[in-house]
Chains A and B, each alone.
Chain A
Amino acid sequence: MKQFGQRYDAYQSFLLGCKTFWLNDLYAQVKGETSEKLGRDTPVSVDDIAASLKDSTVYKYYAWMERHLQKMKYSGRYGIIPSHEPYRAELEAWLDQPVPEGLLSLDAELDLPAYFTEIDVHQHPGGTCGDSLAGIVYDRGARSMWPAASKDLSLHERFDTVVKGLCDPSRIVDLGCGFGKSARGIYQDFPEAAVTGIDISAPCLKLAARIAVEDDAGNIAYRQARAERTGLETEGYDLVTSTMLLHEMPPNAVRETITESFRLLEKGGHAIHLDYLAGEDAFDRFIHYGHGKRNNEPYMEPLDKMDLPGALREAGFENIEITPFEEAPNALSADTPRWRLPWVVVAARKPNY
């Protein structure tokens, strides 16, 4: 990873410090203010909470910080995007190096979905599909997004441990693999399995392939395609997985992806998705829906509101289970109220008949 110097490091470190204050202190204050206004034991709705915080100064700062700390990370004088610009030619040449045959399959004619290209997802300017360096920028951004969890790959190792508890796959599809952060964990944690990573972003897939070359990985192939229409073999896989994909899609695309997953799986195969569902608590939903709006992730709320088990059943899946996922040690502990994404594992199985 390119080093941009002490000023860049100090700037990003400052933002991380601000974000730590935001997710601990500001979040706790907003939650406490809500409890004071509405009472701790009274059932309330998301709308009740929104009304109670309408004139809250601390909530306005909470919202501003959530939006702009992320924006500052990418943009501005020491943001991730301008910091890469002086190295554009060098990085493009690095990405465009030949890779072993079969590792990377790009589709220049792919019809990119408007639901993804029309927003700057995660406030990444231009999104993850547009610029040739978008994958590298996304990689850098993802490593510094959340102070508590994702500075390393432990989240993916923890997810793979969950997967190992459910199945022993040999042919795996990772939908929406991006720059390979999830797929890398899978091909390393399941070295005997053949892994196929699917994503719509050519810049991300090029980076994923470069990383696989540097890993000397022989069990991964990346393919540019939509999760709803992968073009892969029918009943050719025993595990279809995704990490942080479903909440980036509108409900109709989620349903299509579930149907496609069912088609890809052999009988008895598993679909296991790691994503976000806020659960029943109104305050958690209020915070989660607000995060989706402020961080340019507009389908977080629709995913939370759709009948995901129903969609899985309708596609033919059974043994459907949605369970909380602890993305970092003690993340689910109630002792320390702090902001977190409401991680869940959505697991289902294609009938074995």
Chain B
Amino acid sequence: MRERKEQTFFEDEALDSAVGMIMTLAAELYITRDRCTKLERILADKGIIDPAEIETYEPAADTRRADALDRDAFAAALLRNIRGKTA
């Protein structure tokens, strides 16, 4: 895939990149809100959890490792905006 110089719209190219990071974060935030809302509704409807228990939850080690991989992919998606390329 060809990479080209990305268009910019602000005087300082850094601001274009920063807005990109904000938008990526906002998208991830929205996805997370959507996911959490659905999950909590399902679990509460089935009587599996008391929503208050979420505040005291502690993950196991393998769950922590899976979370770390997910975190790395999240970080890569966030920071790719800095590269200033179309692809």
Listed in ascending order, the chain A residues whose CB lies under 8 Å from chain B are 6-7, 10-11, 13-15, 17-18, 60-61, 63-64, 67-69, 71-72, 75-78, 120, 123, 125-126, 293-294
Contact = CB atoms under 8 A, between A and B. Distances in A.
Contacts of A10: 30-31, 34-35
Contacts of A77: 73-74, 76-77
Given A13-B34, A61-B19, 9 more contacts: A7-B31, A17-B30, A63-B9, A68-B19, A68-B23, A77-B76, A78-B27, A120-B86, A123-B86
18 contacts: A6-B35, A10-B34, A14-B27, A15-B27, A60-B9, A61-B19, A63-B9, A64-B19, A68-B23, A69-B23, A72-B24, A72-B27, A78-B31, A120-B86, A123-B86, A125-B1, A126-B2, A293-B7
B16 A14 contact: no
Nearest to B80: A76
Nearest to B7: A67
A210 B86 CA distance: 31
Contacts of A293: 7
B49 interface: no
Q: Is the interface of B mostly helix, strand, loop or mixed?
A: helix
Contacts of B26: 14
Contacts of A126: 1-2
Contacts of B73: 77
A64 B16 contact: yes
Interface string B72-83: 011011001000
Q: Is the interface of A mostly helix, strand, loop or mixed?
A: helix
A75 B38 contact: no
Interface in B14-65: 16, 19-20, 23-24, 26-27, 30-31, 34-35, 38
Interface centre among B30, B31, B74, B77 (most CB of A within 10 A): B31
A8 to B, nearest CB: 9
Nearest to B26: A14
A117 to B, nearest CB: 10
Interface centre among A17, A71, A126 (most CB of B within 10 A): A71
Contacts of B76: 77
Contacts of A123: 86
Contacts of A294: 7
B86 to A, nearest CB: 7
Contacts of A7: 31, 35
A14 B24 contact: no
Contacts of B77: 76-77
B15 to A, nearest CB: 9
A7 B38 CA distance: 11
A11 B27 contact: yes
Contacts of A76: 24, 27, 77, 80
Contacts of A18: 23
A14 B19 contact: no
B87 interface: yes
B9 A64 contact: yes
Contacts of A60: 9-10
A125 B86 contact: yes
Nearest to B34: A10
A123 B4 CA distance: 11
A331 B10 CA distance: 32
A64 B77 CA distance: 18
Interface centre among B27, B35, B80, B86 (most CB of A within 10 A): B27
Contacts of B31: 7, 10-11, 14, 78
Contacts of B1: 125-126
**3 smallest A-B Cβ distances: which pairs?**
A77-B77, A10-B34, A14-B30
Nearest to A6: B35
Contact of B34 (A6, A64, A67): A6
